[in-house]
Structure 1
Amino acid sequence: MMDHAHDLACVREATDRLLSAVTALDDTALAGPSRLPGWSRGHVLAHLARNADALVNVLEGRPMYASAEARDAGIEEGAPRPLEVQVADLRDSAARLQAAGEAPADWTRTVELRNGVTDSASRVPLRRWAEVELHHVDLGTGYELEDLPAEFTERETGFLAERFSGHPGIPAIRLTDGTRAWTTGRAADVPDITVTGRPADLLGWLAGRRDGAALKVDGGELPKLPPL
């Protein structure tokens, strides 16, 4: 069962870590490339700010974005801004999301995200936590998948494994870090392959941040996952 209040606190802590890292940059570093193809670090920060506002819309019953074009335009418009403006926007948008999350609400209700995706309102904070943590890694400023909180790594691995469950183009997979295990891919009584690796490497592969070269695969080859 989701504990949205706990996850909101985790989002706040992750955002504080991100802000501390970003304030150590300068405008030149901000304009430099991130680890996401075609995006500067400024693009990443602009996306995070607009994502916070978009999730406020979700929690308050409005469309997440006016359109896909508006989403992309907001990121492009915000990307070249100076560091001081980026930091203020990131901090202020995060505060708006925290306030929306702390307002009295029915957290069991179903909300609509992008592209017709629906979910429980109680999972919105976990989704935001993933945005902040993974995009912090994407900045390429020294925060790596190995630095992510252990709770986040375990829960996001489970979330992504669930996301790919039932996908007809992915074989039945058992994922394990040697202690915990998850299943994903097509439904089957017996997995087609078993994928074993360190928690950071499993999450990195599922999240499209690593190619899976560090993983051990038994029973076949590591499949290519569809984009998130």
Structure 2
Amino acid sequence: MPTNRAMFAEVVNAVRDHTALMLGTTISYSEEDWAAPTGLSGWTRSHVAAHLADGADAMFRVIKGLEDGAPIRMYDSAKAKHRAIELGALTSPLDLQIRLDTSASALQREFAALEGDTRPVTLRAGYRIPANQIPLARLGEVVLHHMDLGSHFTTADLTPDIAVELLAFNVERIGRRDDYPPLLLVADEGFEGSVGRAGSPTRMHGPAGDLVAWLVRGTESGRIYRSGDAGA
């Protein structure tokens, strides 16, 4: 149900803008702030930042592999990914901030060449998308992890078209996975989509950004109504 869908250039610009917002949050962190826990089990803010920097570097490699005709995945293995995050989290606050900035900037410069490129890329096992959706995948990472840091940033800071784009992307990515119950997600902005295993779906109605946070992170919101809820 297409409405308020963002164009490729809007998504690319949103990655830049939301990365800048996140960097504006992290630049103020003290060493103690970096060591604070996040909403992700076992991860400090340093772990989140290391993961985002690693992710930018890995997406950069994927794009370069595409250009060279030698497709690669973002990470060699889950073990290698985990080890890189643990090592990256030990980086000094200043070096971590610099790495966050420089890795994101290098990746941002590569996005323009992906417009209209529908060649499939496998970012990791079970995560296969057209190349022109790489910026959208990055945007989702930046937005969700900015919230994981425990900042004042929320889904209300997303424009309606970007929120819808992220919801549509995650609905398509999750698809009919058996580990999700049957759900019908109905966004206030006019998008709706189904995910989860077969069966009678629970209807979730609310702002697209809130639905994304709930779908991917389980973040509850007073603006989401379920089937049978008052006001649904």
| Fold match (TM-score > 0.5) | yes
Q: Distance in 1 between matches of 2:225 and 2:82?
A: 37
- 8 Å CA contact 1:193, 1:219 repeated in 2: no
Q: Distance in 2 between matches of 1:166 and 1:104?
A: 27
Listed as ranges, the matches of 1:104-123 within 5 Å are 107-123=117-133
**Alignment partner of 1:127: what SS?**
helix
Stretches of structure 1 lacking an aligned partner (at least 5 in a row): 221-228
Deviation per residue, 1:64-121 (Å, 9 max, x gap) = 1122211111110111322211110011111221233245887222212101532110
Deviation per residue, 1:28-58 (Å, 9 max, x gap) = 1011111111100000000000000110111
Residue matched to 2:49: 45
Residue matched to 1:71: 81
Q: CA deviation at 1:172?
A: 4.2
* Letter of the structure 2 residue corresponding to residue 183 of structure 1: G
Q: Cα gap change, 1:164/1:7 in structure 2, threshold over 3 Å: closer, same or farther?
A: same
Deviation per residue, 1:170-192 (Å, 9 max, x gap) = 4543222345241213587x963
Q: Cα gap change, 1:197/1:69 in structure 2, threshold over 3 Å: closer, same or farther?
A: same
Bigger mean CA deviation after superposition, 115-124 or 1-10: 1-10
Residue matched to 1:183: 193
Stretches of structure 2 lacking an aligned partner (at least 5 in a row): 66-71
- 8 Å CA contact 2:127, 2:173 repeated in 1: no
Residue matched to 1:144: 154
**Alignment partner of 1:207: what SS?**
helix
Q: Distance in 2 between matches of 1:50 and 1:173?
A: 32
- Corresponding pairs, count: 219
Q: Cα gap change, 1:46/1:196 in structure 2, threshold over 3 Å: closer, same or farther?
A: same
Residue matched to 2:29: 25
Per the normalisation by structure 2, the TM-score is 0.82
Q: Distance in 2 between matches of 1:150 and 1:105?
A: 22
**Alignment partner of 2:41: what SS?**
coil
